[in-house]
Amino acid sequence: MKKLLIILLLAVVGYFLTVSMSNIKFGANRMGDLSQPKTVGAFYLSKTPGELSVANVITAIVVNYRGFDTLGEVSVLFLAATGLGSILYKKKKKGEHIPTVNKPSSALLQAGSKLIFPAILVLGAYVFIHGHLTPGGGFQGGAIIATGFLLMMMSYKDFTMNHSVITWVESLAGITFASIGLIGLIVDHSFLENFLPIGYINDLISGGIIPLIYVAVGFKVAAELSGVLDTLLSIKEK
Amino acid sequence: MDTIDYYQIMSIGVYGSAIGLILIGLYAVLMKKHLTKIVIGLSIIDAGINLLFIAIGYISNGTAPIYSSQGIDLVKTGTPMVDPVPQALVLTAIVIGFGVTAVALSLVIRLYRHHNTARIDQIKSLKW
C-alpha cells in the first residue's frame, strides 16, 4: 500500500517535471544578440572580456560579479567542516593515534602513492592558479589536492594530518578573501570591488583580484576537505 | 519525417535522464530504510538537479564560455557560447551538496553509535 502511494507520488512529480520541461526547447538560443545583451547570461558574456579581461566567464561570475555569494558559499563549507567535527567529536587520550585504515596496505600501493602524491598536489595548484584562464578554479583545485591527501591516508596507516596547520591555512585563506573585499570597499567604495589593474586577456596575471581570491579559495577548500576526510576516516570505534 | 531531428532525441535523452535521476533519488529517500541509502538518495537528487540546470543552459553548437585569443573576435561574429549563469550556479550547488552530504553522514554515524543500528524501522525510542 505504501509502495503504491509512493509510486503514485513519483509518477505525479515526474509528470509535472516532464510537462514543464517540454516547453523549454533543448539547445534553443535564448541568449540573443551579444552586442545588445537582453539576458543576464548574455550580459556577463559580453562584458567580461572588456571589463575584467578574464578568459573564463564562469570564474568572472563566481568570483567577481557574484563574489559576495562565493564568500557565503565558502563560509557554508567552513560551517559544514566545523559541524562535522563537533558532531563526531570524541575525546582522545593524550598521544593516542587512531589509524585511518585497519590493515596495512601493500608495498606497491605505498610506493605508488608516494610517487603520485606530489604530482596530484602540483595538478591541484595548477588548476586553481589557472582558474581564470582554463576550466577549473579554486573549488576544483582544492578538491584535487584533498584527493591526494585521501590517497596518502588510505595507503599509510600512520599518516597524520596536523590539525593546527590545517586550521591556520584555512583561517589565513579566509582572512585573505575577506580583507581583499574590505580593501575594495575602502579604495573603490564597494565590497569586493576589482581595484587592481586588469591587464590583458589570457595572461596569467590578469583580471585584477580574481586570481588572488581564487588562490585563497583553493587553499581554503583544500584544507577544509582534507580536514573533513581526516575526521571521517579517524572515527574512533567504541 | 525526412530527417531525424537530432535535438529532439537529445532533449529526450538529457532531460529524461535528469528527471530520471531526480525520481530515483526521491524513491530512495522515501522507500529505503537504511539511513546511508537515504543520504545516497539525497546526493542522487542533487546530481539530477545539476544535470537539469546544465541542460537548460545549453545552446546548440555552443562552446564552453571561455574566451581564447581567437574567440574574442568570433563572438563579435556571432558564434554562440552556452549560458554561463547555470554553470556558475551549479558550481555553487555542488559545494553546498558536499556540505549537506558530509553533515548528514556524520549524523548517521552518531545515530549508529547510539542505537547500534542505522535502520530507521529498528530505531524505536525517540529519546536521544
At B106 the pLDDT is 92
Show the low-confidence residues of chain A (pLDDT under 50).
none
Torsion of CA A30, A32, A37, A38, to 10 degrees: -50
pLDDT digits 0-9 by tens, A34-79: 778 888 888 888 888 888 888 889 999 999 999 899 999 999 999 9
HEC readout, B37-60: HHHHHHHHHHHHHHHHHHHHHCEC
Residue B11 pLDDT exceeds 60: yes
Q: Residue ranges of the domains in chain A? A: 56-233
3-class SS of residue A118: helix
Determine which of B92, B94, B101, B105 to mutate to test the interface with A (most A C-beta atoms within 10 Å): B92
* Helix intervals (H) in chain A: 2-22, 40-51, 57-59, 67-87, 107-129, 138-155, 163-188, 210-233
Determine which of B81, B83, B113 to mutate to test the interface with A (most A C-beta atoms within 10 Å): B83
Mean pLDDT score of chain B: 85
Range of the domain at B77: 6-115
Does residue B94 lie within any of the structural domains? Answer: yes
Residue B101 pLDDT exceeds 70: yes
Does residue B35 lie within any of the structural domains? Answer: yes
Does residue B123 lie within any of the structural domains? Answer: no
Which amino acid is it at B108? V
At A169 the pLDDT is 94
* Closest residue to B113, CB basis, from A6, A10, A238: A238
Say if the Cβ atoms of B31 and A9 lie within 8 Å. Answer: no
- Which one has a higher pLDDT value, A40 or B5? A40
The structure's pTM equals 0.88
ipTM of this predicted complex? 0.86
Burial class, A33, CB count within 10 angstroms (exposed 0-12 / middle 13-18 / buried 19+): exposed
Q: How far apart are CA A65 and CA A69, in angstroms?
A: 9
Grid cell listed for B119:
535502520
Number of domains in chain B: 1
CATH of the domain at B86: 1.10.287
Q: How far apart are CA A48 and CA A99, in angstroms?
A: 49
* Closest residue to B22, CB basis, from A17, A55, A61: A17
At B1 the pLDDT is 47
User: How far does A99 lie from chain B, in Å, by closest CA?
Assistant: 18
* Closest residue to B106, CB basis, from A10, A62, A84: A84
User: Measured between CB atoms, does B28 come within 8 Å of chain A?
Assistant: no
Determine which of A18, A35, A36, A45 to mutate to test the interface with B (most B C-beta atoms within 10 Å): A45
Helix (H) or strand (E) holding B105: helix B84-115
pLDDT digits 0-9 by tens, A113-136: 999 999 999 999 999 999 988 888
At A58 the pLDDT is 92
Say if the Cβ atoms of B57 and A41 lie within 8 Å. Answer: yes
Closest CA to A208 of A216, A198, A200: A198
